Each structure stands twice: as structure tokens, then as C-alpha cells.
Amino acid sequence: MGGLFCYLSLMNKIIFSALILTSLMASCTGSKDPQFCKCLKASEELNSFSSELLSGSVDQTKADKLNALKSAKKEACKDYSTMDGEEMLKRKKECTE
């Protein structure tokens, strides 16, 4: 009977530890997504540069920079192209916190 009690006590400790670990991992799920933050930064850089181009002339150097920024944004954001707006806003908020 003593062996069974020790076994059950050990199982309770293991289950309790697993529950604590699971809850800690679940609380980290809401942490920011570094790749999404890179996507957000690339988008902001592209938007800012595009706005600058609207108020002036465009030469080949500026066109090349625009194309480079577009490529960088496309690469950084490729995993988020089908994400819904609500999820994007949530992740954007996490990037700014």
C-alpha cells in the first residue's frame, strides 16, 4: 500500500508540473511575432518612401530603391498575405508594445 501511495504522490506532482508548464506556454502565445514586426517595418518603409515619391520627381535611383523596398516587403510579409485584418491589428499592437 505504501508503494501505491508514493506512486500516486509522484503522479500528482508530475501532473501538477505539466499543468504549470502548459499554462506558462499558453501565456507566451500572445507574445510578439518578430517576423510580423519585420513585415510591419518593411511596409512602413515602403509607404513612407512611396509618399516621398508622390511629391517629387522619380529618377532611376529612386525607382531602384522603390523596387528594393517592394521586394523586401514581399519577402518579409509572404507568410501573412492571407491573415485577416483583426489578427493583423492584434499583432501590430504587440509589435508596438
For residue range 2-14, what is the model confidence (pLDDT) as tens digits?
Answer: 554 444 454 444 5
Kindly report the pTM of this predicted structure: 0.65
Cβ contacts of 69 within 8 Å, gap of 6 or more? 42, 45, 46, 49
Q: What is the pLDDT of residues 47-96, one digit of tens each?
A: 999 999 998 888 999 999 999 999 999 999 999 999 999 999 999 999 98
Q: Would you say 77 and 46 are in contact if contact means Cβ atoms under 8 Å apart?
A: no
